[in-house]
């Protein structure tokens, strides 16, 4: 199915990289309708102001609600309750299951905040237009939502049917089955005194599958024991 994604940011050129590679091709072919917008296009003052000082005091600046509301009104118009995502370190953590779920939506709107955040009333207002999700990439802090939005767009975009050429490659990846990926090798069969594991040269497909499964389990146990907790 076709998917529309609108991104609102004060740094639209962050997203130039999304013209490249698989996602770039998906956009050219029309499978992915990805539109990048400048929040300042919804301001009306001479300085195109998007932020102001926080009520109650404190460090930094807060994004004003008015430009956000006008942007969301325009982008949600004619759409049947889009999913509105705000990248935020205070959100739910983005997982492969989140990417899967979002890849089934018709229309995503991603609002990238900067500074100390967006006026809280914007999230409440957005909920009148669609389903609002605050989503975090993980437990560390970025300067704004742009890099997180790009990661999410790539993770979601590649799950849209037709974006990744060979759909088999999607099911064998890390996290799709809850385990880390098995190790991969290519020619030469011996390189700098290191041989490729013999089973991979055996032609025994059952033995290869069993070996790969063992490797997945061993790596997951050693690197990401948290994934095996249930
Ligand atoms: Cl989504 N935004 C910001 N600003 N920092 C983050 C993040 C998101 N996810 C992890 N750190």
Q: pLDDT by residue for the chain (230 residues), tens digit each?
A: 799 999 999 999 999 999 999 999 999 999 999 999 999 999 999 999 999 999 999 999 999 999 999 999 999 999 999 999 999 999 999 999 999 999 999 999 999 998 789 999 999 999 999 999 999 999 999 999 999 999 999 999 999 998 988 878 788 788 888 999 999 999 999 999 999 999 999 999 999 999 999 999 999 999 999 999 87
Best residue among 11, 115, 145, 154 to mutate for probing ligand 1's pocket (most ligand atoms within 8 Å of CB) is 145
Whether 35 is in a domain gets the answer yes
Determine the pLDDT at residue 26.
94
| Residues contacting ligand 1 via CB (< 6 Å) | 87-89, 136-138, 140-142, 144-145, 148
48, 123: one domain: yes
Domain around 126: 3-157
Are 129 and 195 part of one and the same domain?
no
Which of these, 23, 152, 15, lies nearest to 93 by C-alpha position? Answer: 152
Q: 226: helix, coil or strand?
A: helix
**Is the domain of 27 the same as that of 141?**
yes
207: domain CATH number?
1.10.1270.20
Q: Does residue 83 lie in a domain region?
A: yes
Of 88, 91, 92, 155, the residue with max ligand 1 atoms within 8 A of its CB, to mutate for a pocket test, comes to 88
Please check whether residues 17 and 41 belong to one and the same domain: yes
Q: Do both 20 and 110 map to the same domain?
A: yes
The number of angstroms, rounded, from the C-alpha of 94 to the middle of its chain's C-alpha atoms is 8
Q: How far apart are CA 65 and CA 116, in angstroms?
A: 14
Contacts of 34 (CB under 8 A, 6+ apart): 4, 5, 7, 18, 23, 27, 153, 157
- In ligand 1, the atom with minimum distance to the C-alpha of 137 is 9
163 lies in some domain:
no
Domain count, the chain: 2
Nearest to 160 by CA among 109, 105, 108: 105
Assess whether 203 and 101 both reside in one domain.
no
Residues 189, 128 share a domain: no
How many Cβ atoms from other residues are within 10 Å of residue 55's Cβ?
Answer: 8
Question: Do both 42 and 134 map to the same domain?
Answer: yes
- 138 labelled binding-site residue: yes
Please indicate, yes or no, whether the overall pTM of this predicted structure exceeds 0.90. Answer: yes
Cis bond leading into 188, ω under 30°? Answer: yes
């Amino acid at each position: 199915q076709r998917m529309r994604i609108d991104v609102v940011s004060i740094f639209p050129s962050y997203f130039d990289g999304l013209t490249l590679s698989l996602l770039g091709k998906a956009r050219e072919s029309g499978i992915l309708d990805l539109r990048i917008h400048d929040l300042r296009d919804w301001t009306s003052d001479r300085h195109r102001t998007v932020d102001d000082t926080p009520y109650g005091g404190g460090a930094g600046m807060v994004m004003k609600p008015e430009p956000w509301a006008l942007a969301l009104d325009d982008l949600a118009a004619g759409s049947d309750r889009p999913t509105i995502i705000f990248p935020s370190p205070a959100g739910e953590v983005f997982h492969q299951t989140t990417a899967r779920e979002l890849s089934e939506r018709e229309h995503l709107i991603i609002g990238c905040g900067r500074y100390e955040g967006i006026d809280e009333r914007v999230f409440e207002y957005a909920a009148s237009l669609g389903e609002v999700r605050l989503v975090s990439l993980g437990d560390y802090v970025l300067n704004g939502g742009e890099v997180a939005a790009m990661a999410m767009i790539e993770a979601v975009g590649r799950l849209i049917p037709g974006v990744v050429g060979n759909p088999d490659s999607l099911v064998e990846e890390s996290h799709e089955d809850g385990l880390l990926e098995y190790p991969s090798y290519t020619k030469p069969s011996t390189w700098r005194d290191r041989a490729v594991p013999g089973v991979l040269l055996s032609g025994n497909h059952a033995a290869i599958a069993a070996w790969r499964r063992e490797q997945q389990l061993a790596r997951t146990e050693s690197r990401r024991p948290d994934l095996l907790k249930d």
